[in-house]
Every structure is written in structure tokens, then in C-alpha cells.
Structure 1
Amino acid sequence: MKIGKVAITKVFTFDSAHHLVDYNGKCKNIHGHTYKLEVTLKGIPDKNGLVMDFHDMEDIIEDEVLEKIDHKYLNDVFDFNPTCEMIGLWLWEEIAKRVKDTQCSLERLMLWETPTSYITIDRHDME
């Protein structure tokens, strides 16, 4: 069997509050979201047939990012305006730092702020 790279994806949710600075609209007021985070890693399956164990992937995301932002007021956590775009870029940086020591690469990140609004960051966007 030909072995090539395989993408694995795991979905997470977290709840946070924020307000947008210098914004003229409802989001200038403190409000909360149940965010949905989708993380995709890519790599060649190891001798056991795994790119990365989903449990290990979950540990990375929980330990590196969700612990810092779940049930938090994001304006107190970040030194930037916590828009979905900026939170996504922060997530990318934090996850990429941890994944670089594995046989995987961070391929894509999607962050939903609402059920109908989300951002996408692709590996090619960050090179």
C-alpha cells in the first residue's frame, strides 16, 4: 500500500467573553460566544498507522490554548483587540509552536464565533 500524508481534524468548543475596542456596533459591549475551533494536522502515518493519536492532539489543544481562554474575559487575556481574526492568529501561533516538535504540520484552523460566522487560516497563508 502506498503511504502518503494524511490530514486529521479535531473539533473543540470553548466559551469566552469579550468586547471590541474602537468598534461602533453592538459588539462594543461585553458579550459572550460559544466558539467552535477546528484544527487540522497533516503527516505521514507512523508504524502504528497514526499521524497523531487524537487523544494526544486533544491534550495539545487543551493544554496550550483552551486552558488559557476557556471561560475567560478575552480583553484581559490578550494585548490586542480580540476579534475572531486576531484570536485565530493567536491560536495558530500557539498550536504551531507545540506541533513543530512532532511529525505533523498544522495545516488549517477554523474558528467559528457564531454558528454562521467563522475565519479560516491555512498553512499557506502563514508561510
Structure 2
Amino acid sequence: MFVIRKFKFDAAHNLESYKGKCERLHGHTYRLVVIVEGIPDSEGMIIDFVELKDIVKREVIDILDHSYINEIIKQPTAENIAIWIWQRLEEKLKRGNCHLYEIQVWETEDSGVIYRGEKIERRSE
């Protein structure tokens, strides 16, 4: 079973290792989806929605909202933002009955990434 919580934050960034218009400073209203997988506990919950909201707000939203993300994450692509968020949340959401399953980071309504904690090896071309 999965618990899903959606969030929004506004932030600016630029992609320094990119050739194109996104190398210039610009902003997004990001949408973040956090999915926790687990088994309901004795209270019938995988994780309390309020607790999940508080953790994500403290560990992610309060840091990234209205920020210049380049000061926090090197080359802040949606992919790198998703990895950074995963690293901030994975241990905080690990319980006997549940764990972080998936992070979705949406830069626009129709462009986003999904990350499930896989080890990523960068390719150089």
C-alpha cells in the first residue's frame, strides 16, 4: 500500500553545464510528490499525513522554497533535485512498517522526473 503527499515550492535556478536557454537564471513552481510504501500499523496508518507533511516541510520545502537552488545543489536539474530530496528524506521516513518508495519532481505541468533511490552512475560523452 502507498501513502502519497503532494507539495509545491517556488525556486530559481540556472543550469551552468547546459547549452541553451536554461543556462540563464529562471524560476519554476515545482511540484513534489512523495510516496511512502508500507503496511498499516495498529492505528491503521502507514504514516500519518500530518507527520509526513511536517517532515517534508522541514527537510525540503523550508530549504528550497523561494531559494536560488544553485546555492544548495550543484547543477540543479530535476534529476539532481530528486536525488537531493531522496537523500534528505530516506532515513527520516524509514520505519518498521514503511519506507520511502518514490520521489517525483515536476518542473512544469508536463515535465518531471521519478526517482526511487537507484544508484546513478553518470555517463560522460
Verify same fold: TM over 0.5: yes
- Point out 4+ residue stretches in structure 1 off by more than 2 angstroms: 100-103
In the other structure, the counterpart of 1:115 is 109
- Structure 1: which 5+ residue stretches go unaligned? 1-5
- Aligned with 1:15 (options 7, 10, 28): 10
In the other structure, the counterpart of 1:3 is none
1:90 correspondence with 2:84? yes
Q: Which secondary structure state, in structure 1, belongs to the residue aligned with residue 62 of structure 2? A: helix
Paired AA for residue 12 in structure 1: F
Paired AA for residue 19 in structure 1: N
1:54 correspondence with 2:58? no
Please report the RMSD computed on the Cα atoms of aligned residues, expressed in angstroms.
1.6
Kindly tell me the number of residue pairs found equivalent between the two proteins: 120
Q: Which secondary structure state, in structure 2, belongs to the residue aligned with residue 99 of structure 1? A: coil
Percent of matched pairs sharing the same residue:
38
Paired AA for residue 88 in structure 2: E
Kindly state the Cα deviation for residue 102 of structure 1 after the two structures are TM-superposed: 5.8
In the other structure, the counterpart of 1:34 is 29
Paired AA for residue 48 in structure 1: E
Structure 2 distance, partners of 1:34, 1:107, is 23
Q: Which secondary structure state, in structure 1, belongs to the residue aligned with residue 88 of structure 2? A: helix
Q: Which secondary structure state, in structure 2, belongs to the residue aligned with residue 97 of structure 1? A: coil
Taking structure 1 as the reference length, what is the TM-score of the superposition?
A: 0.88
The superposition leaves residues 79-116 of structure 1 with CA deviations (integer Å, 9 ceiling, x where unpaired) of x1111100110001111021125632111111101111
In the other structure, the counterpart of 2:100 is 106
Taking structure 2 as the reference length, what is the TM-score of the superposition?
A: 0.90
Higher helix share goes to which structure?
Answer: 1
The superposition leaves residues 42-63 of structure 1 with CA deviations (integer Å, 9 ceiling, x where unpaired) of 1111111011110000001001
